[in-house]
Amino acid sequence: MWTKQYGREFKVEDINCDGCLAEGPKVFSYCNICEIRKCGQGRDVENCAYCEDYACEKLSKLFKEFQPAKEKFVDEIRASAKKKRSSK
């Protein structure tokens, strides 16, 4: 699907990723230059959903193209984290 959508060949091993905070060989090739990943690592957050500056300009720009990622993943994580904080 990504090969067709982005006009570049992707192999399964190209998209096998341990996440934005992972260090090592199992990261998506783009991750090595991703500004959002660098930001998350610099702020030492598990992911952007836990950042106090959510949703920053970098994410807002990304979410314009990938709205389902925001709604399905990041917003759900933020809601869950907010529940945990309020129940303490």
As given in the structure block, the two tokens for residue 33 are 């230059």
As given in the structure block, the two tokens for residue 81 are 């984290």
Q: Residue 74: which of 66, 35, 88 has the closest Cα?
A: 66
pTM over 0.85: no
For the stretch 19-41, pLDDT in tens is 666 676 666 767 778 888 889 88
Q: How far is CA 64 from the centre of its chain?
A: 14
31-57 mean pLDDT: 85
